[in-house]
A and B are shown apart, each in its own frame.
Chain A
Amino acid sequence: MNVENAKAQMRKGILEYCILSILSKDDAYASDIIKELKNAKLIVVEGTLYPLLTRLKNSSLLSYRWEESTQGPPRKYYKLTSKGDKSLIELNTSWKELTNSVETILNLKK
């Protein structure tokens, strides 16, 4: 088993879940999302986010609108769609289940 690979796989699923969660609180710019993810140390480089956002948008979990900005050209303002809402609810439950099962296993080991 490749550790790096496993780490990347783990992070990938979680990242999408986190993006959806961040957007469920409030609509946000890409840079806002980046800030939160960086704070939580979920991503190291920002470039990772953009392919994810585009993919989520293309599977219509997200939508965006253009917002004028005071400095420079308009920016994309992301929003969760109803489909995104539903997915998030599903993910929430499965996340709880997952953490539970992982904890159980970890505790068993002790």
Chain B
Amino acid sequence: MKKTFTININGIIFHIDEDAYEILSKYLNEINRKFASSDEGREIISDIEARIAELFQEKVNDIKQVINISDINNVIEIMGKPEDMGDDEETEEKETKKQKYKTGKTMYRDTENAKIGGVGSGLSAYFGIDPVFVRILLLASFFISGPIIYIILWIIIPEAKTTAQKLEMKGEKINVENIEKSIKDEFKNVKKNVKKIKESGQWEESRNVFDRLLAIVFGTISFIFRIIMIIVGVAFVITGLFVLIGITGSFFIESWGVNNLTIPEALNIFFDNMNVNIGLISIVLVIGIPVLAIIYAGIKMIFKIKVKNKVIGFTAFFTWIIGIIMLAYVTMHEVKNHTSSANISETIQIDTLSSDTLYLKLGKDFNKNEDSYNQICIDDIIAVSNNNNETCLHGIPNLKIKTSDKDNIEIKITKYARGIEKDIALNHAKEIEYKFNFKDSVIYFDKYFDIPMDRKWYDQNVKIILYIPEGQEIIIDKKLQYLLNKYYRYSRIDNVVKKKHIMNYKVLYAHKQLLPIPKINILGKIKPITKTKTL
């Protein structure tokens, strides 16, 4: 029993023994190496292939269907060795020169042994490794970034169509040995030529030395250039892949996104529902396309693939522009949605305390539903979403305590919001719910203000000002520091909370250092801060 291959030469299919195939492929490879560097050469190759196909056809019939090794040898005998096929010396030299600059082989997709698009088999042929390993790697890449890498490779790697390309696909590996070899070959050639000139002693030929020297210089430069290209290419691909993984991650993995939010979640909080989708698509396009382009360019550099696919370039550029336009539109739309601002205030008076001391405590948290929920913090906004993907926003109000010259305790609550128009902004402000509770001598301030379900972020904010008559004793619960001052929440409040204070400038001073130090009048009485401008 013998293994056979099916090959396609000039559009005709032949069955060929394995050993015969080896010889044929070596032969075609040599021919290819001799001619492939020019357009003219390619034509010659296809002519020769056509002739070989004709000769093969004569070798097979209904009884003998497989081309064997003796057939191949016979055909090679008829066609002649590549070195016998020389045109005249001039073109031959040109060709060898051109050829020297070519390093190794070109990458093609091997559609003959393809599982999907022939990328795996093509890569394995290029690197000379078992396709199984390449396929495992490709499969692994599916888990990292989906089918993107595979599709990119599919697009940029051309299919091996002619027999010559199929052989080129498996040509010499690009490695240090081969690079060394081809430099040595170059050198030998020069030596030979120099010798020739010495023998012939012809002045004319000395121009050849220059040519050869130039060839060496250019050869070396192109080698260095090639290596730089590979390094840059690898850098491109790695960078591209990392960014790609990063972006993909930021869409699906919370800790990779913005403030522990995936990008869709973040947009969902700030953007209109419709704008969220447009925004997401535009972000994918605007970032994704350049990243893919970088990977594309990198792969092309590494493997020296010369494909100029204008359609893909144009499409990519066009889609990118569309992405930019979409992003601009969404941004404009959102900015417009936030142009007007409005606020609404109410003041509540608290008449009687049941004791001398006023206690300030932290009240309720927001209502936690029985559903499991996902809680996300952005700055002072907390987004809570339930299982039904409904999101509710809660914010931390800002509490200020000021000395008042009135006799009563007063609480002023101001709600702020933005919107596309004044009315809408005002509506957004009105919707905000904030509660506090007064019981005996204790005021409980709720921990959060609530924004209605599925209302987006419109810069909603609540400010509470607690006016306390001068001389009133107050005790601030430590937990209340959460609301007291957003910026000094964890540090400077410490000397305020839990201690008994008589409402005087010290309390205020501790609240916020940027308050001007109150003037002390002649009697040593503290001038109420409320009269200073900053308040």
Contact = CB atoms under 8 A, between A and B. Distances in A.
A42 interface: no
A75 interface: yes
Nearest to A44: B80
A50 B40 contact: no
Contacts of B48: 47, 50
A73 B11 contact: yes
B211 interface: no
Interface stretch (B85-93, B214-222, B294-302): B85-93
B88 A72 contact: no
B44 interface: yes
Nearest to A57: B43
Interface stretch (B49-57, B123-131, B249-257, B454-462): B49-57
Interface residues of A, number: 20
Contacts of B50: 30, 73, 75-76
B469 interface: no
B519 interface: no
Interface majority SS on B: helix, strand, loop or mixed?
helix
A45 B10 contact: no
Contacts of B84: 44-45, 47-48
Interface string A39-66: 0000011111011111100100000000
Q: Is the interface of A mostly helix, strand, loop or mixed?
A: helix
A12 B40 CA distance: 19
Contacts of A75: 50
A55 B87 contact: yes
B54 A31 contact: yes
Contacts of A55: 40, 87, 91
Nearest to B80: A45
Given A31-B51, A73-B10, A52 B80 contact: no
Interface in B67-123: 77-82, 84-88, 91
B67 to A, nearest CB: 15
Contacts of B47: 30, 50, 53-54, 76
A31 B50 CA distance: 10
A71 interface: yes
A52 B43 CA distance: 12
Interface of A: 12, 30-31, 44-48, 50-55, 58, 71-73, 75-76
9 nearest interchain CB pairs?
Answer: A45-B80, A47-B80, A47-B85, A51-B87, A47-B79, A73-B11, A50-B47, A50-B44, A46-B79
